[in-house]
Amino acid sequence: MTQSDIIRKNIQAQIDGIDLLPICLMGDSGIGKSKTIESIANDMNIGLSTISFSSIGLEDLMGIPTFATDTSLDIYSRSESSNVQSTLWTIPSVIAHTNRIAEKYGSCIMHCEDIHVCDKVTSNVLYQLLLDRSIGDYNLHPKVSIVLSMNIGKQSDAGTMSAAIKSRLNLTEYRFDFNVWYTNFGRFLHPLVSSFLKTNQQYISESESRNLEASASARTWSKISQEFDLYTNDELNRAHEQLLHGAVSPAAVNSFNKHVLIYNKLDFRSMINSKSIPDLSIINELDQVLYGMLFHEVQSASEGVYIIDLLNNVQAQSNADTIIGFLSAEIATKYQSQLDGNSITDGQSLVINALIGSLNPADFDLTKKQIIQLSTEPFNQRTALLTIVSTYLNH
């Protein structure tokens, strides 16, 4: 059973009304704790409310005071005043926001992150939340599950947390699993970043430096990927080193530079234009992994036909599992992106439809010869091909 499975069971039990210790994930900054909770919420099809204790305002945690007349308190006035005013508190926005999400989805995860920065006041609020699922006079929705996370390291650890809070938590060290992270997040990053991390896993989470030298994390690479998306391939060839400096270690920058050289040497655009079929007997394992990125260059329906021809031809060669597997993984990435509402090219759509068995060649701009070619079974040895695809996607 994976760590994510244990977290899911804890969350579901809380939603079902079982009184458990909420799990608090502890680990280095930027290694995917929050992304894991986000992924679990998506998998369970429930709402997610994230409360960051590093940025939340005290008024958001406690509400703000209002005043109301309470005549029952008049007898306590030393000056015999009437219509004595009492202080009421509005509902804290974190409770209101979380409960609205729970009402919308039927259940919700309340993720309290960065709890290592709690001061005395916010610790008191957190204690009440853990003690009786309330803040002040306001309760959490009964179908809300509480999950927490915190950073550990030189400047932050569980030692600063009060014993009362620790006794109400299941303090769990978060174990970063590259394969889980890559499957859920990494493969959707910019192709240069995704392929680099797939073949250079040692740089996904670098040790903290004692000086001003940068050290990368999973979060760092996600932000770098977003920045890379702003540039064309030609611009990135000139600017990638500048973009990486200050975000990752010099060793990672140097390794990334070599990766870009290898990537460019493969020249996927020329391969597509010439419709060349690689000879696997002269291609090393690393280059076969990078061939998966070829699919990101596919534009027209005609180029999609080339990908089908490539898969059919390399399947007939020995040791084809790696190139087929990683190419199919990138095809699956685009398929998921399409399901998420993002646009993909005609060529990518054609290949996806062919793989899932819903291809109608007449829907695409193809020659008569290509339409005839694809009107029958588009893949040779389809069962064997899908077995390889399934193996790599499940891995």
Residue range 311-329: mean pLDDT, rounded: 87
Residue range 366-390: mean pLDDT, rounded: 86
Give the pLDDT confidence score for residue 160 in this predicted structure. 66
Give the pLDDT confidence score for residue 211 in this predicted structure. 65
**Could you report the per-residue pLDDT of 192-241, keeping only the tens digit for each?**
898 899 889 999 988 766 666 788 888 899 999 999 989 888 898 899 99
**Could you report the per-residue pLDDT of 253-268, keeping only the tens digit for each?**
999 999 999 888 888 9
Give the pLDDT confidence score for residue 263 in this predicted structure. 85
Residue range 57-68: mean pLDDT, rounded: 78
Say what the pTM is: 0.68
Q: Where are the domains of the chain?
A: 3-56+97-176, 180-394
pLDDT more than 90, % of the chain? 45
pLDDT band of residue 55 (cuts 50, 70, 90) is: confident
Question: Is 156 a residue whose pLDDT tops 60?
Answer: no
Give the pLDDT confidence score for residue 392 in this predicted structure. 66
Output the six-digit token pair for 121.
Answer: 């006041």
Residue range 169-189: mean pLDDT, rounded: 85
Range 239-272 burial, b when 16+ CB lie within 10 A, else e: ebeebbeebbbeebbebbeebeeebeebebeebb
Range 55-81 burial, b when 16+ CB lie within 10 A, else e: ebeeebbbbeeeeeeeeeeeeeeeeee
DSSP secondary structure code for residue 381 in this structure: T
Domain 3-56+97-176 has CATH 3.90.1150.10: no
- Neighbour tally for 334: CB within 10 Å: 20
